[in-house]
């Protein structure tokens, strides 16, 4: 029996009488249940493929207030309630001091569904405004400052990993940004050890499509907080990559999944990196009769 079949059986055998607070008002339609099960299956697949559950007891789940991180938390809680995720979860939001950030939304929502959480205030927005030239985008520096603080919070909470809501499109966009602008073949790994070597970063939504997450978040009516509070989102290279991938998918449906599979099937001998393959030591043997 294949991994997907096993996962389907495990989901089907889950206790039907259990209705987590998060899903009390969720749609009961066939289409939503299919979507919910698809996301659960894809996350379980990522767990298995990348060994995400090995030696893991406690996770800090980064929650920005966007559709992706809300969906990540919901899927992880769903798996936990089904007995398929033996890991303690702590939701965490870093309030970075952006103007007009609605401070009450996340703590109120997390309290309403009974999720353990930590809200941390750290004014990185002022640092970004000071360091980034006027007219430039804030996202790169903002992201690095946020990640550093999340590592710290994860260590303070005794967590084995920081879990983030990056999805299929995020991985592909990062790959093409590196390809076009960085001159290297590198994406966004589903499992990563940080530079200090003391914190694992996990991306369980690696196989999940952004469209599916958007539909899921809309159906669940999450209280979304926009990611443009600082007003710096115009003209990002990532937006260009996103539009390019969307155009390709429109012209040739299914290409995003094909490209994601390509990142998992790398042949070093057919690239040009002598550090990955010993081209200098390659030699032909005697000719066959």
pLDDT at 63 over 60: yes
Residue 178 in domain = yes
85 part of a folded domain: yes
Domain, as residue range, for 160: 3-265
pTM: predicted TM-score of the whole model, two decimal places: 0.86
Q: What is the spatial distance between Cα 40 and Cα 33, in angstroms, rounded to a whole number?
A: 10
Query: What span, in angstroms and rounded, lies between the C-alpha atoms of 262 and 271?
Result: 13
Q: For residues 31-48, give the mean pLDDT.
A: 97
Whether residue 173 is predicted with pLDDT greater than 80 in this model: the reply is yes
Q: Identify whether the C-beta of residue 44 lies closer than 8 Å to the C-beta of residue 205.
A: no
Residue 99: its pLDDT value, please?
Answer: 75
Which residue carries 């889950």 as its tokens? 14
Task: Name which of 72-76, 101-105, 164-168, 240-244 the model is least confident about.
Answer: 101-105
Pairing state between β 191-193 and 58-62: unpaired
Please list the residues that pair with 117 across neighbouring strands: 91
Q: Is the pLDDT of residue 142 over 70?
A: no
Average pLDDT over residues 117-137: 71
Q: How confident is the model at residue 1 (pLDDT cuts 50, 70, 90)?
A: very low
E strands of 26-159, at which residues? 58-62, 88-95, 117-121
In a domain, 234, yes or no: yes
Residue 9 in this model has a pLDDT that exceeds 80: no
| Structural domain contains residue 285 | no
Over range 166-191, report the average pLDDT: 93
Number of domains making up the chain: 1
- Give the C-alpha distances (Å, rounded to integers) separating 228 from 101, 119, 137, 269: 10, 20, 11, 43
Beta-bridged to residue 120, according to DSSP, are 94
207 found inside a domain: yes
- 3 state DSSP class of 94: strand
In the structure, what pLDDT confidence band is assigned to residue 24 with cuts at 50, 70 and 90? confident
Give, as one character, the DSSP assignment of residue 127: H
Radius of gyration of the chain (CA): 21
CATH value at residue 219: 3.40.50.620
- For range 117-130, the mean pLDDT: 76
Number of H helices, E strands in the chain: 10, 6
> What digits encode the pLDDT tens for the residues 196-220?
888 899 999 999 999 999 999 999 9
Are 82 and 14 in contact by the 8 Å Cβ rule? The answer is: yes
Q: Average pLDDT for residues 240-255, to the nearest whole number?
A: 95
Contact predicate 177/186, CB 8 Å: no
Kindly tell me if the per-residue pLDDT of 66 is higher than 50.
Answer: yes
* 145 confidence band (pLDDT: 50, 70, 90): confident
> Residue 170: which residues within 8 A CB-CB, separation 6 or more?
68, 188, 210
- What's residue 141's pLDDT? 63
Residue 270 lies in a domain: no
Dihedral angle, C-alpha 202, 151, 149, 182, nearest 10 °:
-60
Does residue 139 form part of some domain? yes
Question: What mean pLDDT, rounded, does the chain reach?
Answer: 86
3-state DSSP helix/strand/coil percent for the chain, to nearest 5?
45, 10, 45
Predicted pLDDT at 205: 98
pLDDT at 235 exceeding the cut of 60: no
Closest by Cα among 122, 118, 97 to 107: 118
In a domain, 272, yes or no: no
Q: Report phi then psi at 84, rounded to 5.
A: -110, 5
Mean pLDDT in residue range 157-170: 95
The pLDDT of residue 17 is: 44
């Amino acid at each position: 029996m294949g991994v997907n079949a096993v996962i389907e059986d495990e989901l089907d055998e889950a206790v039907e009488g259990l209705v987590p607070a998060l899903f009390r008002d969720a749609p009961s339609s066939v289409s939503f249940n299919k979507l919910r099960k698809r996301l659960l299956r894809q996350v379980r697949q990522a767990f298995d493929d990348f060994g995400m559950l090995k030696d893991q007891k406690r996770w800090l789940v980064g929650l920005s207030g966007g559709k992706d991180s809300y969906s990540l938390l919901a899927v992880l809680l769903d798996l936990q309630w089904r007995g398929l995720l033996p890991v303690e979860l702590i939701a965490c939001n870093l309030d970075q001091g952006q103007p007009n950030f609605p401070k009450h939304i996340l703590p109120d929502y997390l309290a309403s569904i009974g999720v353990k959480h930590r809200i941390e205030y750290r004014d990185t927005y002022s640092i970004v405004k000071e360091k980034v030239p006027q007219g430039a985008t804030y996202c790169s520096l903002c992201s690095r400052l946020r990640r550093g603080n999340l590592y710290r919070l994860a260590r303070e909470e005794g967590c084995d990993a920081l879990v983030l809501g990056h999805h299929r499109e995020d991985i592909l966009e990062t790959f093409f940004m590196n390809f076009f602008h960085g001159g290297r073949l590198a994406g966004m790994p589903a499992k990563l050890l940080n530079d200090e070597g003391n914190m694992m970063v996990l991306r369980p939504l690696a196989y999940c499509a952004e469209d599916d997450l958007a539909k899921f978040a809309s159906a669940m009516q999450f209280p979304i907080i926009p990611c443009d509070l600082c007003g710096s989102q115009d003209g990002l290279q990532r937006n260009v990559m996103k539009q390019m991938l969307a155009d390709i998918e429109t012209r040739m449906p299914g290409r995003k999944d094909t490209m994601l599979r390509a990142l998992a099937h790398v042949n070093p001998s057919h690239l040009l990196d002598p550090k990955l393959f010993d081209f200098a030591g390659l030699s032909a043997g005697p000719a066959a009769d």
